[in-house]
Structure 1
Amino acid sequence: MPYNIPRGTQDILPGQVERWQYIEKVMQNICERYQYKEIRTPIFEHTELFQRGVGDSTDIVQKEMYTFQDRKGRSITLRPEGTASVVRSYVENKMYASANSLTKLFYIGPMFRYERPQSGRYRQFWQFGIEAIGTKNPAIDAEVISLAMNVYESVGLKNLKLVINSLGDDESRKQHRDALVGHFEPRIGEFCSDCQSRLKQNPLRILDCKKDRGHELMGTAPAILDYLNEESKAYFDHVLNYLQNLGINYEVDPNLVRGLDYYHHTAFEIMMDSDKFGAITTLAGGGRYSGLVQSIGGPEAPGIGFALSIERLLLAIDELNISLPIDEGIDCYLVTLGEKANEYSVALLERLRKAGLKAEMDYQNKKLKAQFKVADRLNAKFVAILGDDELSGNSINVKDLTDGNQEKIEIDKLIEYLKKKGEK
């Protein structure tokens, strides 16, 4: 019986995984410059964490989570997003007690949502995200957005579009919530069952509905920006001013609400607008949250973060035909002729590798011509040819595959020779 990969998942094979590694290194290097430290949390958590942290009214909790019972009957869920787990760890490990009250973290890892697979969207997908917890300063909002933009620009993406909105504080949200209920309630029967339940749970989520996005009431719904109090308006203005100072263009969209319940104040999405990529496509999203840390048992500690899908980033790179500067070659391939030379090369190969060189040799007793073909396929810079006669004379022939030149050197000087040539 053949075994197939589960629907909505993928194997990342050699030849592709190097692109993932390159992108992850870009992300890690940028986070290092911005002073965000990596955190690694479990792939599964107690279900209650996501119910409380993400929100009972979200599609993620209601429809998309992979939830099961362990052997003791406890409800466990594969993490559908990263923020709740990071905040749980922040609280459980008392990171708020450190001398620096601002905690800056990043994560890279698989997430799981049961949704319809499509191009760039999987049921197991990889997210990169950051969280900055512990300050209400609007400057950190701009920093988070700047970091996200930097990631995309560093891999060659252009035509990026930042869409931003403010969801206001609790007072502003309450006034807007009441206005939304009054707007939708008389005709809520014309909306889908999800929106009908959202009317009382979280009417803001109605604006994020994909089924009813064409309903006439959507276009005339009260905008959150009209209900911001003075404090919320001032906060949003500060964020926009910081973005201008950083040279980041933006578009204010009063209908941007995001899909999670914990957002307050700043909410944003980064899109790419390109004829080659098709319609405007969301690449990343995030926003500010308050109350989330407290809801998980911690102190009052506001935060802001974003997450992006690595699959969607790679899709954008492919659609725009961006070539990533990945060095897929090796430094040296050992070609051996004769039984003694072959036996000696095993230890020689190990010495090359311990010296920091990428090296390989033949393990299948191929003929000379076939070994050279393998070296060419591996994109080797040099081929070191060792036969029994050369071994007895403590020498080895080294061929530079970039220009075809060949030299005979002492075997003990091979590492020095390859490193010196590699510096040029």
Structure 2
Amino acid sequence: MEVVTMQNKLTNHSTIDFKILVEKLNECVWVYDLNTKKFLYISPSIYQLRGLTVEEAMQEKLEDCLTPESLQKLKNGFLRRYQRFLDGDRSDNIVYNLSEFQQYCKDGSIKYIEISTRLEIDETTNHILGIGVSRDINKRKLHEKKLVETIRNQYKIINKKKSPRKSEPELYVYLFGKYRVLTSLKEKPIKWRTTKTEELFAFLLQNENQFISKDELLEALWPDVELEKATRYLHTTIYNLKNNLKTANITFNLEVINGLYFYEKHRFYSDLGEFKNLINTAVNPYDEVDAASARNIERAILLYEGDLLAENDYPWAASQSTFYRHQFEKYVFALARHYFFKRDYLSTKRVLYKLIEMDNLNERFHELLLNVFRFDDDYVSFTRHYEDLKALLLKELDQPPNASIQALYQQYRDDAEASIINERAHF
């Protein structure tokens, strides 16, 4: 009896000590139930990490915690890991994971964090739990950013001393719609040795930052593979990439500077690069479209043959694809409004049909098109389009058009009926 009592005292004492230790940690310890999608425990250090109380943090969903890019990154890597855990895989690279994310703080700022997680089964509920430790790595990431800027500036200084010759691009890279790489406009696309070689080149070319860490590459291309094996795959794929391009007589220098991969791409043309240049520098940020920016947006329409890497289904490209789609829709809709106010209804319809083809449930696009038919006195097209839209929304969303569109329809019908009455009165 005395032995049992002593063991209980020791156990209780250990539990108290452990609780005090956890609550004093700078790192935030948490437990997340993957079946109910709710936090079961969050240590008080969440306040130091994000400015939230435990009660506030416990009410959050994952989409409240992480930036869209980080949320997509979490989903891409975790879904496969979760499924393999369900299937009974208990290897270290499935049970344990260490990744970096960007997380929202209460004051609206965004902080870099490193999250270490472990999967296990709660024997009492048979639910799968994610036990994690989140730590602030913002200072480290800022230091890395400064280091990258230093390297970039040094590289610019070196490049200024060179006298680059103007010449035709060595490669033409198309990332919108069907991804393809050509050595000239007339030749067939390069045939890659492996699909991972092709994917690696796409990842390098779409990345805005030309200085890319090994961890970024491994996490994007081999998220579920253990570190040692993934590193071997990376080295092999880089070797294949260089050989592939060398066979096509393309110079591609992929260097490692202070642990970061760097490459020159000034001899490569890409539709993404031209698209970004049009959007970032040539389009008025206040949506005021003039003749010059209209030409630039028209050029962007020609470039946008589909969503970024739409036919390749690369998980790491999802957030970028969504971003460029939103950019495209924003500026092309501004162009449609520009044509509408100029009473160029033919151009307005052409642009709106392009947008509706991409997103046929966006009621802003349909409302402007209905106004085009209205001001163009095309009653037949107005009525037909309204009825088609109504049927589509009821089928897809189980709801009628919004109040604004319904009011527009009713007003146009009233105007049309009044016009008919007036015409009859003259006879």
Give the TM interval when normalised to the shorter protein. Answer: under 0.3
Structure (1 or 2) with the greater strand fraction: 1
TM-score of the aligned structures, taking structure 2 as reference length: 0.25
TM-score normalized by structure 1?
Answer: 0.25
Which protein is richer in helix relative to its size? Answer: 2
